[in-house]
Amino acid sequence: MSAEEIKIRTATLDDARELLAIYAPYVEKTAITFEYEVPTLEAFKKRIENTLNRYPYLVAEADGELFGYAYTSAFKERAAYDWAVEVSIYVREDKRGGGIGGRLYAALEDISRAQHILNLNACIAYPESEDEYLTKDSVRFHEHLGYAMVGEFHKCGYKFGRWYDMVWMEKMIGAHTDRPEPVIAFSKLQED
């Protein structure tokens, strides 16, 4: 199946079980997320619901099957940060490297521009040296999509008996003017 056959749409709470199944291996087998325990289905549904109040939460789907998801969230809670968001993405293990992630991020960028978001920020677990739990693939993926490295925190995440670094990457998607347009909630865009 090619990336062009994938449909990108807004997630619903009915997608939660399938999305949690995509996320669980990242928690259990990788240091890509610093989460130790797989969230409950109810907790995962709450995450989706809370995100959709203000930001997009998108899924990649073909033939009724979900292959990945991506969403944005608040970069920081203070009002001055409104024009910056954090991006997150998870693609099903057997579908990685096939263009699904790029399609999800392209859709997130389009929506973010419509919301008047200007900065996309990615918080990425980063190994000093690659191991069986974490590679530098996420950094390479973001670089390919135009993100630039802006910071590194050392040995700030501990998982699987090892310390991992964390990096921030960013991509500017709009002009930073003296009077930026107010940010529009995703839920408001959906109404229009």
Question: What pTM was computed for the model?
Answer: 0.94
CATH classification code of 3-183: 3.40.630.30
Using 50, 70 and 90 to split pLDDT, how confident is the model at 2? low
Lowest-confidence region among 41-45, 63-67, 118-122, 151-155: 63-67
Output DSSP code: residue 93: G
Residue 1 has pLDDT above 80, yes or no: no
Q: What are the structural domain ranges in the chain?
A: 3-183
pLDDT tens digit sequence for 113-162: 999 999 999 999 999 999 999 999 999 999 999 999 999 999 999 999 99
Long-range CB contacts (within 8 A, 24+) of 25-29: 25/93, 26/90, 29/133
